[in-house]
Chains A and B, each alone.
Chain A
Amino acid sequence: MSDVLLIVEDEKDMQELMRKYIEKAGLDLEIYSAYSGEEGVNKYRELMEKGKKPGLVIMDLKMPGIDGVETTKRIMKVDKNATIYGFTAFFDTDWSERLLKAGAKKIIPRYLGFQGLVKELKAFFGK
């Protein structure tokens, strides 16, 4: 499994905090950021083409342009084996179900915070 992580999140603060917590946790991951759904799909395809297929995609739900559900669908079309985790505030809404239906493997509620996210990443990447 590659240590490449793609974060699709429109809020810069969220992107920054995720990176800081990952670094602080000492996780040695190659992190890429996309700030919209479309960018996320393009970035995933681009990384694949470069031989850096992301081992995991962290997906926000509400984003300008296409939302996290649509982005997940499109990435799954690019790579049916893609692994996508939702990291969202919409953990108790239909959106979560729709995201899982679109191909996401798990939903990490945003209230678990960054420590909760890092814990999931450690478990996933085996670190």
Chain B
Amino acid sequence: MPFHFIPFIFIPVLLIFVVDRRWELYKQFFEESPVGITVTEENGIISFANKMFSNICGYSMSEIIGEHFTKFVAPEDREMMENFHERRMRGEDVPEEYEYRCLRKDGEIRHVKIKIIKLPEKRTLSCKIDITMEKEMQELFERIAETALVAIFIYQGGHIVYMNKFAREITGYTMEELRKIPYWELVAEEYREAVKKRGQRRERGNDVKPMMYEIPFYTKDGKKRWALFSFNTIIYKGKPAGIGTAVDITEIKEMEREMEKSEEKYRMLVELSQEGICMDDEEGKIVFMNDAFASCLGYKKEEIVGKRVEDFVYPEDLKKLEREEERRRKGKKGKYEIRFIARNGEVKTFIVSSTPLYKDGKFIGSLSVNLDITERKKAEERIIESESLYRAITEYSPNGIFIVQNGRFVFVNSKFLNLLGRNGESVSTIDYKSLIHPDDREKILNIFREAKKMEEVATPEFRFVAGEKTRWGIINGAIIDYKGEDAFLGVLTDITEIKEIHEKEKKFIERVSHYFFNPICIAKGYIHLAKEKMLSEEDVIMLEKANLAIERVENVVKNIVREGEIHE
């Protein structure tokens, strides 16, 4: 009964009056007492009652005096009180102070605290205080406390003297167990001394600050939990005491720890990130930069933090930076390309993903992730250059260049179309096999079929269909990877004219052979026969010279036929 205190301060005074036998003298004083007072005779009849008792029981004085005291007791308590009275009259020890329920005239039950003093001649003096309101308050408190979802407790004399259901459930202790444990031993060791000192000061009735704090405590089974405690000072059973409430914040604490871990993870993520991460304030001053970004620019973080972003931006890109910063101030995110100048003077290109930062609705700067694409840009430039080069080579090539994939042309240069007599036409729907002369088709297709990836393929001379005409060509090529699939890259060389020249050459040689070797052979034959005739020595010498001259011609012709060159 925590809020129950009874100011029986008048009792000693009453006793003095009674002992002094100056009853009549001080009767007026009793009448005005704030305590209900009655005098009961040995037979239980009330012989005196004051105004306050009349107020408590709701009867008038005339309805009280001469009545048995049980008339004003609720039926449930009559037997107990009659028993106490009889035993008291017999001189036995019975409680002098207790509570009972008073039955008012209007039928209402009031809670009354009674103190009984024995008077001479077996009379008793009863002092009664209406404690109904305190009882109701106490009941209300207990109901609230017992259903509350926070722990409520009262400590006094170094121990917990009250603990609500929620507190008992959280700690796992019963009230009996708690009464034996100093309350400061319930908290974590490092907090015990402080809790003890603050508690003792509260028990002395002092206000102690802070009134709220978070401390860990131990449950009966030894588990450590965290609670947010709130303390105040009260009077409990007439003495100062500390009252406290506690909210279990263990899960919040765990979440905080998880958050801290998570923040640590993010911090590590930022620091270990290969992308440059930068944070600048509302004025564009760098307030954070990770190692990756700083080292990419050839600086240490400390050398960059505090400087302005524009101090590192390539001059031609400053206007772009200004525009982007303005967009951030307007709360817009952005992704853009910008160049920075590294410490060594190298111009580096970054893709920047920037987002504005707000605190309490106010713009405080921006956070950006900066991806170094310098090498990629260079590679792109190289690709563009090489693409231009290849395009030029392809377009100005004297040979037809084509790529066939899945039986269809997927690329042809203009020369190829020109060779096929299809200038300006599309060949994407043409079956490439149909362009090979039927007599040569199988031979050439077999070569393509047997071709292996990245091995050079060279066809023999074959005929291809060029509009209405048939021309001669050769193909050199290879199986390549084109847009993720195998394809045949071929270079068609038109050898029609070369073949015609060769044919002419051949015919020329044949004619040379025919028209020179036959007469030479005949001439030599006759000269040889003539030499065997009976000729003069001079004639023989002349024939030999003629033969020698013919042989020289023969050698020249032989060299023409064999080497295509005119010499002896």
Contacts and interface: CB of A to CB of B under 8 A. Distances in A.
Given A111-B517, A111-B558, A17 B510 contact: no
A62 B518 CA distance: 11
B26 interface: no
Contacts of A114: 521, 525, 528
Interface residues of B, number: 21
A79 interface: no
B561 interface: yes
Contacts of B526: 13, 17
The SS class assigned to the A binding surface is: helix
Interface in A84-116: 89-95, 110-111, 113-115
A90 B529 contact: no
Given A93-B509, A93-B510, A95-B510, A21 B517 contact: no
Nearest to B551: A111
A89 B518 CA distance: 7
Interface residues of A, number: 20
B554 interface: yes
Contacts of B518: 11, 14, 89, 110
A45 to B, nearest CB: 27
B517 A92 contact: no
A89 B521 contact: yes
Interface string B507-529: 00110011011101110111011
Interface in A53-90: 62, 89-90
Nearest to A12: B522
B506 interface: yes
Q: For chain B, what secondary structure do more than half of its interface residues adopt (helix, strand, loop), or is it mixed?
A: helix
A119 interface: no
Contacts of A11: 518, 522
A56 B529 CA distance: 24
B562 interface: yes
B512 to A, nearest CB: 9
Interface in B494-515: 506, 509-510, 513-514
Contacts of B532: 24
A122 interface: no
B510 A113 contact: no
Contacts of A20: 525, 529
B318 to A, nearest CB: 77
Contact of A113 (B509, B516, B528): B528
Contacts of A92: 509, 513, 561-562
Interface centre among A14, A92, A110 (most CB of B within 10 A): A110
A125 B522 CA distance: 24
A115 B521 CA distance: 11
Contacts of A95: 510
Interface of A: 11, 13-14, 17, 20-21, 24, 62, 89-95, 110-111, 113-115
12 contacts: A13-B525, A17-B525, A17-B529, A20-B529, A21-B525, A89-B513, A89-B518, A110-B517, A111-B517, A111-B520, A111-B521, A114-B528
